[in-house]
Amino acid sequence: MSKNLSKIAKQKKIKYFLISFVDLFGVLRSKLVPAQAISEMQKNGAGFAGFATWLDMTPADTDMFAIPDPNSLIQLPWNKEVGWLASDLWMGGKTVKASPRVMLKNQIKQLSKKNLKMKSG
């Protein structure tokens, strides 16, 4: 069952969410979203221009959507009104396979089939 980010925002007094992902060069890309809009973002994602993310796309490609992972929520310690969220990238109803987070999840899944665990840091 998915966590309701709107309820969490009210409980924790979060006014804004940073919906984030990392591009292929390790650059964090984010969109600041007001808490009132988080339900829509949780359902459909925050739109990003794919060509601007270094994921081998052109301006002719459709937008990508970053769907936040509620389990990744971190309330910023230096600004409690902002909650940071990692997200999965979607485009055309499918995950963007070239996105680092999707690649990592796939590697973890493959390793778990061999009874192995990934460590990084």
pLDDT 10s digits, 46-64: 998 877 766 677 777 788 8
Nearest partner of 88 among 79, 75, 97, judged by Cα = 97
User: Do the domain assignments include residue 120?
Assistant: no
CA distance 56 to 82: 31
Residue 121 lies in a domain: no
pLDDT attached to residue 2 = 65
- Count CA within 13 A, CB hemisphere, residue 25: 7
Average pLDDT, the chain: 90
- What is the total count of domains within the chain? 1
Q: Is residue 108 part of a domain?
A: yes
Domain that holds residue 15: 5-114
Task: Grade residue 43 by pLDDT with cuts at 50, 70 and 90.
Answer: very high
Domain at 51, CATH number: 3.10.20.70
Is residue 119, in this structure, part of any structural domain at all? no
Residue 80 lies in a domain: yes
Q: What's this model's pTM, rounded to 2 decimal places? A: 0.85
